[in-house]
Amino acid sequence: MATVLLARQLLTPLEVIDNAALLIEDGIITAVGSRNEVHVPSNARSIDFGDLVLAPGLIDIHVHGGAGHDVMEGTDASLAAVERLMARHGVTSYCPTTVTAPINAALRALDALGKATANAITGDGTRSRPLGIHLEGPFLSHSKRGVHPPALLQPASLELFDRMWQAAAGHVSVLTIAPEINGAIELISEASRRGVCASLGHSDAEMPAAQAAIRAGARHATHTFNAMRSLDHRNPGLLGAVLTDNSITADIIVDGVHVAPAVVDLFVRAKGIDGAVLITDAISATGMPDGTYKLGELEVQVRDGRCESGGRLAGSVLTLDRAVCNTMSFASVTLQHAICMATLNPARVLGIAQRKGTLSVGADADITVFAPTGDVVRTIVGGVMDY
């Protein structure tokens, strides 16, 4: 049966449609426009959201966990808990993100996450769905490793990357890599050839190394400003390339802890609405009270919204809907523009903007219903609303 959603406004997100109607059939959007433009079948179910706003479902390309669970646990029960928490915060799809771990443990996690991605549950509108794995580690800089265990970091290795790729059955979407480490340029080129987004991060690279990586195929940057060489006016480093090169996109953690509000504003001005991506870097403590939690095999202490391990920041307890609201406040952007950074832009990073991150004909019916303030009212995953 077809379903038509009605609302005061719809964000495609590139276009604003007032007095909107959106038609869904079999989990796919079949029509979108103003109410006088959309032909609605006589037997269609109608849901009127009144003064609310329809937008694409949010996409988080950097998530370690939530609801007390880490994605590297890899069980359906643990992933279900994480995915249900994200769905409550407007996220309809995501990239489960690994952390540097012993090789055998990493391969086991990748096997489980690859299978979870291949068998993403359909028909369950309560769960966000995995799109592909984000490998954060082990190909990182020692000096900018954050909390990644130094003994487990590796030089960039085509052989090890292929083992990880095979363990995940090819379901790898993003690779965070430091461009200055041995073998990085070759690995960036190979990952890009396989359709993986090579993302520059956890790096102490100077600007020429970053530019060489971009020429080799790198096209994104991971949690900009965090775990990166600081910007210097005479030696701009990786950040100099990230902030000035319009050929690459970049993501940022907008929780007010990782990056100061004024720097978020600077970031959005530099990358523009089309080049900025919002992420959470959320860990298992997200949605939970203060206490001690896990990030991979690391213990993390969480207090007052700050996650630390050994005195270093270790992920966040940010939710993506809160990142949208924070970005509106910190960078003085509209709801439409903040939503673009959490929907269409990450979909473009993953190369799936034809079916995700957009409310357009032929796209998946992944929809977040917002109040005009940016608060999430309802999440619709794959057109499922019977819950």
Q: What confidence score (pLDDT) does residue 120 get?
A: 87
- DSSP β-bridge partners for residue 97: 134
C-alpha span between 108 and 92 (Å, rounded): 25
Concatenated DSSP letters for 291-350? EEEEETTEEEEEETTEEEETTEE--B---HHHHHHHHHHHH---HHHHHHHTTHHHHHHH
Catalytic residue among 281, 321, 364, 366: 281
Q: What confidence score (pLDDT) does residue 297 get?
A: 87
Instruction: Say if residue 99 is exposed, middle or buried (CB neighbours under 10 Å; 0-12, 13-18, 19+).
Output: buried
> Has 304 been annotated as catalytic?
no
Domains of the chain by range and CATH? Answer: 3-54+372-380 (2.30.40.10), 57-356 (3.20.20.140)
Q: Which distant-in-sequence residues (6+ apart) come within 8 Å of 289 by Cβ?
A: none
Side-by-side strand order, sheet with 58-63: 58-63, 91-96, 129-130
Q: Which helix (H) or strand (E) holds 26?
A: none
Task: Say if CB 315 and CB 307 are below 8 A apart.
Answer: yes
Q: What confidence score (pLDDT) does residue 387 get?
A: 58
pLDDT averaged per 10 residues, the chain (length 387): 96 98 97 95 94 98 98 97 98 98 97 96 89 98 96 97 98 98 98 98 98 98 97 97 98 98 98 98 98 94 96 97 98 98 98 98 98 96 84
Six-digit token pair at 245? 């090169």
Rounded to two decimals, the pTM is 0.98
Q: What's the Cα-to-Cα distance from 80 to each of 84, 87, 116, 290, 327, rounded to whole Å?
A: 6, 10, 10, 22, 28
Q: What confidence score (pLDDT) does residue 121 get?
A: 78
C-alpha span between 368 and 125 (Å, rounded): 12
